[in-house]
Amino acid sequence: MAYNSPALNVMTAAARKAGRPLVRDFNELENLQISMKGPADFVTHADKRTEHILIEELSKARPGYGFLGEEGGVVEGKDATHRFIIDPIDGTTNFMHGVPHFAISIGLEREGKLIAGVVYNPVTDDLYTAEKGHGAYLNNRRLRVAGRKDLPQSLIATGLPWLGREDGMNRAMVETAAVLGATSGIRRFGSASLDMAFVAAGRFDGFWERGLYPWDVAAGIVLVREAGGVVSDMDGGADMLTGGSLLTSNEHLHPQLLKLLKEAGA
Ligand code: 2AM
Ligand code: CA
Protein backbone atom coordinates (compact mmCIF):
# COMPACT_ATOMS: atom_id res chain seq x y z
CA MET A 1 0.00 0.00 0.00
CA ALA A 2 1.11 3.51 -0.73
CA TYR A 3 1.90 5.85 2.11
CA ASN A 4 -0.35 8.83 1.53
CA SER A 5 0.18 11.98 3.54
CA PRO A 6 -2.87 14.17 4.17
CA ALA A 7 -1.59 16.54 1.46
CA LEU A 8 -1.36 13.72 -1.09
CA ASN A 9 -4.88 12.58 -0.18
CA VAL A 10 -6.12 16.10 -0.83
CA MET A 11 -4.44 16.14 -4.25
CA THR A 12 -5.80 12.71 -5.15
CA ALA A 13 -9.34 13.63 -4.11
CA ALA A 14 -9.20 16.85 -6.14
CA ALA A 15 -7.95 14.97 -9.24
CA ARG A 16 -10.71 12.36 -8.95
CA LYS A 17 -13.40 14.98 -8.41
CA ALA A 18 -12.27 17.06 -11.40
CA GLY A 19 -11.88 13.89 -13.47
CA ARG A 20 -15.53 12.81 -13.34
CA PRO A 21 -17.03 15.68 -15.38
CA LEU A 22 -13.98 15.60 -17.64
CA VAL A 23 -14.76 11.99 -18.60
CA ARG A 24 -18.36 13.00 -19.33
CA ASP A 25 -17.06 15.79 -21.60
CA PHE A 26 -14.69 13.39 -23.28
CA ASN A 27 -17.49 10.92 -24.04
CA GLU A 28 -19.74 13.71 -25.23
CA LEU A 29 -17.05 15.08 -27.50
CA GLU A 30 -16.94 11.75 -29.33
CA ASN A 31 -20.64 12.01 -30.22
CA LEU A 32 -20.92 15.73 -30.62
CA GLN A 33 -21.75 17.22 -33.99
CA ILE A 34 -20.06 20.56 -33.67
CA SER A 35 -18.92 23.36 -35.90
CA MET A 36 -15.24 23.74 -36.83
CA LYS A 37 -14.85 26.28 -34.07
CA GLY A 38 -16.89 24.14 -31.69
CA PRO A 39 -14.43 21.48 -30.53
CA ALA A 40 -11.75 23.99 -29.55
CA ASP A 41 -14.25 26.06 -27.57
CA PHE A 42 -15.65 22.96 -25.95
CA VAL A 43 -12.19 21.80 -24.91
CA THR A 44 -11.23 25.27 -23.64
CA HIS A 45 -14.36 25.20 -21.50
CA ALA A 46 -13.54 21.71 -20.17
CA ASP A 47 -9.99 22.84 -19.45
CA LYS A 48 -11.09 25.94 -17.52
CA ARG A 49 -13.76 24.09 -15.57
CA THR A 50 -11.31 21.35 -14.60
CA GLU A 51 -8.79 23.91 -13.35
CA HIS A 52 -11.55 25.68 -11.44
CA ILE A 53 -12.60 22.47 -9.66
CA LEU A 54 -8.98 21.67 -8.83
CA ILE A 55 -8.32 25.11 -7.37
CA GLU A 56 -11.60 25.05 -5.45
CA GLU A 57 -10.96 21.61 -3.93
CA LEU A 58 -7.30 22.19 -3.18
CA SER A 59 -7.83 25.60 -1.59
CA LYS A 60 -10.73 24.31 0.49
CA ALA A 61 -8.39 21.74 2.05
CA ARG A 62 -5.24 23.88 2.00
CA PRO A 63 -6.30 27.51 2.26
CA GLY A 64 -3.45 29.88 1.66
CA TYR A 65 -1.36 27.69 -0.65
CA GLY A 66 -0.46 29.41 -3.91
CA PHE A 67 -1.03 28.11 -7.42
CA LEU A 68 0.72 27.98 -10.73
CA GLY A 69 -1.66 26.75 -13.41
CA GLU A 70 -1.74 26.41 -17.17
CA GLU A 71 -4.98 28.39 -17.42
CA GLY A 72 -4.86 30.68 -14.39
CA GLY A 73 -1.15 31.49 -14.21
CA VAL A 74 0.29 32.48 -10.85
CA VAL A 75 -1.99 32.88 -7.83
CA GLU A 76 -0.08 34.08 -4.79
CA GLY A 77 -1.11 32.44 -1.52
CA LYS A 78 -0.90 33.70 2.05
CA ASP A 79 1.31 30.72 2.77
CA ALA A 80 4.42 31.64 0.83
CA THR A 81 6.05 28.26 1.45
CA HIS A 82 3.61 26.02 -0.45
CA ARG A 83 2.42 26.03 -4.02
CA PHE A 84 0.40 23.66 -6.21
CA ILE A 85 1.47 23.44 -9.86
CA ILE A 86 -1.45 22.21 -11.93
CA ASP A 87 -2.30 21.23 -15.47
CA PRO A 88 -6.04 20.54 -15.88
CA ILE A 89 -5.65 18.61 -19.15
CA ASP A 90 -2.18 17.53 -20.14
CA GLY A 91 -2.63 16.11 -23.62
CA THR A 92 -5.30 18.51 -24.83
CA THR A 93 -4.85 17.53 -28.47
CA ASN A 94 -5.50 13.88 -27.60
CA PHE A 95 -8.58 14.91 -25.63
CA MET A 96 -9.89 16.91 -28.57
CA HIS A 97 -9.42 13.99 -30.95
CA GLY A 98 -11.06 11.41 -28.71
CA VAL A 99 -7.77 9.72 -27.83
CA PRO A 100 -8.03 8.55 -24.19
CA HIS A 101 -4.47 9.56 -23.31
CA PHE A 102 -4.49 12.74 -21.25
CA ALA A 103 -4.14 13.52 -17.58
CA ILE A 104 -4.78 15.89 -14.74
CA SER A 105 -1.40 16.77 -13.27
CA ILE A 106 -0.87 18.23 -9.79
CA GLY A 107 2.52 18.90 -8.23
CA LEU A 108 3.18 20.31 -4.78
CA GLU A 109 6.14 22.51 -3.93
CA ARG A 110 7.40 23.35 -0.46
CA GLU A 111 9.96 26.13 -0.22
CA GLY A 112 10.67 25.80 -3.92
CA LYS A 113 11.23 22.02 -3.79
CA LEU A 114 8.86 19.50 -5.33
CA ILE A 115 7.53 17.19 -2.63
CA ALA A 116 4.48 15.43 -4.10
CA GLY A 117 2.89 14.66 -7.44
CA VAL A 118 -0.33 13.20 -8.81
CA VAL A 119 -0.94 12.32 -12.46
CA TYR A 120 -4.43 10.98 -13.13
CA ASN A 121 -5.87 9.67 -16.38
CA PRO A 122 -9.60 9.84 -15.66
CA VAL A 123 -10.62 7.67 -18.65
CA THR A 124 -8.46 4.69 -17.75
CA ASP A 125 -8.72 5.52 -14.02
CA ASP A 126 -4.94 5.22 -13.69
CA LEU A 127 -3.77 7.18 -10.68
CA TYR A 128 -0.03 7.80 -10.37
CA THR A 129 1.08 9.22 -7.03
CA ALA A 130 4.43 10.01 -5.45
CA GLU A 131 5.70 11.68 -2.37
CA LYS A 132 9.26 12.67 -1.61
CA GLY A 133 10.92 9.87 0.34
CA HIS A 134 7.93 7.53 0.09
CA GLY A 135 8.07 6.05 -3.40
CA ALA A 136 5.92 6.21 -6.50
CA TYR A 137 2.73 4.24 -7.08
CA LEU A 138 0.21 3.37 -9.78
CA ASN A 139 -3.14 2.63 -8.14
CA ASN A 140 -1.28 1.65 -4.97
CA ARG A 141 1.23 -0.60 -6.77
CA ARG A 142 4.84 0.43 -6.16
CA LEU A 143 6.65 1.66 -9.25
CA ARG A 144 10.25 1.29 -10.30
CA VAL A 145 11.97 2.59 -13.43
CA ALA A 146 13.14 -0.03 -15.92
CA GLY A 147 16.58 -1.54 -15.37
CA ARG A 148 17.81 -1.64 -18.96
CA LYS A 149 21.42 -0.57 -19.31
CA ASP A 150 21.87 -0.44 -23.07
CA LEU A 151 20.36 1.95 -25.58
CA PRO A 152 19.71 -0.65 -28.31
CA GLN A 153 17.15 -2.39 -26.05
CA SER A 154 15.49 0.81 -24.85
CA LEU A 155 12.18 2.43 -25.79
CA ILE A 156 12.25 6.22 -25.56
CA ALA A 157 9.38 8.73 -25.50
CA THR A 158 9.54 12.30 -26.70
CA GLY A 159 7.38 15.25 -27.66
CA LEU A 160 7.69 17.01 -31.00
CA PRO A 161 6.81 20.53 -32.18
CA TRP A 162 3.58 21.24 -34.02
CA LEU A 163 1.92 23.94 -36.11
CA GLY A 164 2.65 27.23 -34.37
CA ARG A 165 5.70 25.81 -32.60
CA GLU A 166 7.97 25.27 -35.58
CA ASP A 167 10.90 27.13 -34.01
CA GLY A 168 12.28 23.93 -32.53
CA MET A 169 11.48 21.74 -35.51
CA ASN A 170 14.96 21.20 -36.96
CA ARG A 171 16.51 20.57 -33.61
CA ALA A 172 13.79 18.07 -32.74
CA MET A 173 14.31 16.25 -36.05
CA VAL A 174 18.07 15.98 -35.53
CA GLU A 175 17.63 14.73 -31.96
CA THR A 176 14.92 12.30 -32.99
CA ALA A 177 17.09 10.88 -35.79
CA ALA A 178 19.95 10.32 -33.34
CA VAL A 179 17.71 8.46 -30.89
CA LEU A 180 15.98 6.47 -33.65
CA GLY A 181 19.35 5.23 -34.84
CA ALA A 182 20.47 4.12 -31.40
CA THR A 183 17.44 2.54 -29.71
CA SER A 184 14.52 0.13 -30.17
CA GLY A 185 12.32 3.06 -31.04
CA ILE A 186 10.56 6.26 -30.15
CA ARG A 187 6.99 6.87 -28.96
CA ARG A 188 5.24 10.25 -29.19
CA PHE A 189 2.04 9.96 -27.15
CA GLY A 190 1.27 13.66 -26.58
CA SER A 191 1.08 14.02 -22.82
CA ALA A 192 4.34 14.88 -21.07
CA SER A 193 2.99 14.04 -17.60
CA LEU A 194 1.91 10.55 -18.74
CA ASP A 195 5.21 10.07 -20.58
CA MET A 196 6.97 10.67 -17.27
CA ALA A 197 4.51 8.42 -15.42
CA PHE A 198 5.30 5.69 -17.98
CA VAL A 199 9.03 6.14 -17.32
CA ALA A 200 8.31 5.80 -13.58
CA ALA A 201 6.34 2.62 -14.34
CA GLY A 202 9.24 1.14 -16.32
CA ARG A 203 7.29 1.12 -19.59
CA PHE A 204 9.43 3.72 -21.32
CA ASP A 205 13.17 3.64 -20.63
CA GLY A 206 13.46 7.38 -21.07
CA PHE A 207 11.77 10.58 -22.14
CA TRP A 208 12.99 13.93 -23.41
CA GLU A 209 11.27 17.05 -24.64
CA ARG A 210 11.95 20.75 -25.19
CA GLY A 211 9.49 23.59 -24.85
CA LEU A 212 7.80 22.28 -21.72
CA TYR A 213 6.18 24.34 -18.95
CA PRO A 214 6.33 23.75 -15.18
CA TRP A 215 2.75 22.40 -15.09
CA ASP A 216 3.61 19.77 -17.72
CA VAL A 217 6.40 18.28 -15.61
CA ALA A 218 6.05 19.19 -11.89
CA ALA A 219 4.16 16.04 -10.83
CA GLY A 220 6.10 13.83 -13.25
CA ILE A 221 9.44 14.89 -11.78
CA VAL A 222 8.41 13.57 -8.35
CA LEU A 223 7.09 10.35 -9.93
CA VAL A 224 10.30 9.46 -11.78
CA ARG A 225 12.57 10.43 -8.91
CA GLU A 226 10.58 8.35 -6.45
CA ALA A 227 10.62 5.43 -8.87
CA GLY A 228 14.43 5.58 -8.78
CA GLY A 229 14.92 7.53 -11.99
CA VAL A 230 17.15 10.48 -12.86
CA VAL A 231 15.73 13.80 -14.10
CA SER A 232 17.66 16.75 -15.50
CA ASP A 233 17.38 19.49 -18.04
CA MET A 234 18.93 18.75 -21.43
CA ASP A 235 22.26 20.27 -20.45
CA GLY A 236 22.44 17.83 -17.56
CA GLY A 237 21.60 20.57 -15.05
CA ALA A 238 18.78 20.88 -12.53
CA ASP A 239 16.70 23.50 -14.32
CA MET A 240 14.05 21.10 -15.62
CA LEU A 241 11.04 22.67 -13.90
CA THR A 242 11.38 26.14 -15.36
CA GLY A 243 14.13 25.76 -17.96
CA GLY A 244 11.84 24.30 -20.64
CA SER A 245 13.74 21.12 -21.41
CA LEU A 246 13.76 17.80 -19.65
CA LEU A 247 15.46 14.43 -19.92
CA THR A 248 14.61 11.51 -17.67
CA SER A 249 15.70 7.90 -17.59
CA ASN A 250 17.31 5.38 -15.27
CA GLU A 251 20.81 5.99 -13.87
CA HIS A 252 22.46 3.84 -16.58
CA LEU A 253 20.77 5.28 -19.64
CA HIS A 254 20.48 8.91 -18.55
CA PRO A 255 24.15 9.78 -19.19
CA GLN A 256 24.11 7.85 -22.47
CA LEU A 257 21.01 9.70 -23.71
CA LEU A 258 22.41 13.03 -22.58
CA LYS A 259 25.61 12.39 -24.55
CA LEU A 260 23.74 11.13 -27.60
CA LEU A 261 21.45 14.15 -27.69
CA LYS A 262 24.35 16.57 -27.15
CA GLU A 263 26.40 14.92 -29.88
CA ALA A 264 23.43 15.18 -32.22
CA GLY A 265 24.79 18.72 -32.36
CA ALA A 266 21.47 20.43 -31.98
P1 2AM B 1 -1.03 20.36 -23.05
O2 2AM B 1 -1.93 19.34 -23.62
O3 2AM B 1 -1.30 20.62 -21.60
O4 2AM B 1 -0.94 21.62 -23.85
C5 2AM B 1 3.44 17.07 -25.56
O6 2AM B 1 4.33 17.38 -26.55
C7 2AM B 1 3.23 18.20 -24.59
O8 2AM B 1 3.10 19.45 -25.27
C9 2AM B 1 1.95 17.96 -23.82
O10 2AM B 1 2.29 17.83 -22.47
C11 2AM B 1 1.04 19.12 -24.20
O12 2AM B 1 0.44 19.74 -23.05
C13 2AM B 1 1.91 20.13 -24.89
N14 2AM B 1 1.20 20.69 -26.04
C15 2AM B 1 0.71 21.95 -26.12
N16 2AM B 1 0.12 22.16 -27.31
C17 2AM B 1 0.24 21.02 -28.04
C18 2AM B 1 -0.16 20.62 -29.37
N19 2AM B 1 -0.84 21.44 -30.19
N20 2AM B 1 0.13 19.38 -29.77
C21 2AM B 1 0.81 18.55 -28.95
N22 2AM B 1 1.20 18.86 -27.70
C23 2AM B 1 0.93 20.08 -27.23
CA1 CA C 1 0.44 20.30 -20.41
The pLDDT tens digits of the residues spanning 153-185 come to 999 999 999 988 888 899 999 999 999 999 999
- Residue 87 alpha carbon, nearest atom of ligand 1: 3
pLDDT tens, position by position, 44-85? 899 999 999 999 999 999 999 999 998 888 988 899 899 999
Does one domain contain both 87 and 203? no
**Boundaries of domain holding 194:** 151-265
Asked whether residue 120 carries a pLDDT value surpassing 90, the answer given is: yes
C-alpha 128/C-alpha 143 separation (Å) is 9
C-alpha 51/C-alpha 56 separation (Å) is 8
> Which residues are in the CB-under-5-Å shell of ion ligand 2?
87, 90, 216
Q: Which residues contact 136 (CB under 8 A, 6 or more apart)?
A: 128, 129, 130, 142, 143, 200, 222, 223, 224, 225, 226, 227
Q: Of 142, 173, 196, at which residue does a domain stop?
A: 142
| Residue 196 included in any domain | yes
Q: How confident is the model at residue 2 (pLDDT cuts 50, 70, 90)?
A: confident
Instruction: Give the Å distance between the CA of 3 and the centre of ligand 1.
Output: 31
- The pLDDT, as a whole number, for residue 32 is 67
- Residue 94 alpha carbon, nearest atom of ligand 1: 2
Instruction: Give the Å distance between the CA of 212 and the centre of ligand 1.
Output: 8
Residue 113 near residue 122, CB atoms below 8 Å: no
Catalytically active residues, by annotation: 70, 87, 89-90, 92, 216
Does one domain contain both 165 and 242? yes
Q: Which of 48, 191, 194, 240 maximizes ligand 1 atoms within 8 Å of its Cβ, making it the mutation to test the pocket? A: 191
Q: Which of 44, 90, 160, 204 maximizes ligand 1 atoms within 8 Å of its Cβ, making it the mutation to test the pocket? A: 90
Does one domain contain both 14 and 55? yes
| Residue 114 included in any domain | yes
Region 13-23 average pLDDT: 98
| Residue 102 included in any domain | yes
Residues near ligand 1 with C-beta < 6 Å? 70, 87, 89-93, 159, 162, 190-192, 209, 216
Does one domain contain both 91 and 129? yes
- The pLDDT, as a whole number, for residue 263 is 94
* Shortest-distance Cα residue to atom 17 of ligand 1: 93
Instruction: Give the Å distance between the CA of 190 and the centre of ligand 2.
Output: 9
Tally helices (H) and strands (E) across the chain. Answer: 7, 13
In this structure, what CATH number is given to the domain that contains residue 31?
Answer: 3.30.540.10
| Residue 44 included in any domain | yes
Lowest mean pLDDT among 31-45, 184-198, 217-231: 31-45
- The ligand that comes nearest to the alpha carbon of residue 94 is 1
Q: Of 142, 160, 179, at which residue does a domain stop?
A: 142
| Residue 89 included in any domain | yes
Region 226-231 average pLDDT: 98
Share of the chain above pLDDT 90, in %: 85
Instruction: Give the Å distance between the CA of 191 and the centre of ligand 1.
Output: 6
Asked whether residue 37 carries a pLDDT value surpassing 60, the answer given is: no
- The pLDDT, as a whole number, for residue 177 is 97
Residue 45 near residue 39, CB atoms below 8 Å: no
For residue 257, what is the enclosing H or E element? helix 253-263
Region 235-257 average pLDDT: 97
Which of residues 29 and 118 earns the better pLDDT score? Answer: 118
Does one domain contain both 15 and 100? yes
| Residue 1 included in any domain | no
- Single-letter code of the amino acid located at 263: E
Asked whether residue 222 carries a pLDDT value surpassing 70, the answer given is: yes
Region 226-239 average pLDDT: 98
List Cα–Cα distances, 99 to 15, 33, 124, 215, 225, in angstroms.
Answer: 19, 17, 11, 21, 28
- The pLDDT, as a whole number, for residue 34 is 56
Q: How many CB atoms lie under 10 A from the CB of residue 185? A: 10
Residue 167 near residue 244, CB atoms below 8 Å: no
Does one domain contain both 50 and 25? yes
Q: Of 92, 113, 142, at which residue does a domain stop?
A: 142
Q: Is 17 helix (H, G, I), strand (E, B) or coil?
A: helix
Region 113-121 average pLDDT: 98
Q: Which residues contact 53 (CB under 8 A, 6 or more apart)?
A: 14, 17, 18, 21
Residue 215 near residue 236, CB atoms below 8 Å: no
- The pLDDT, as a whole number, for residue 201 is 98
Does one domain contain both 114 and 157? no
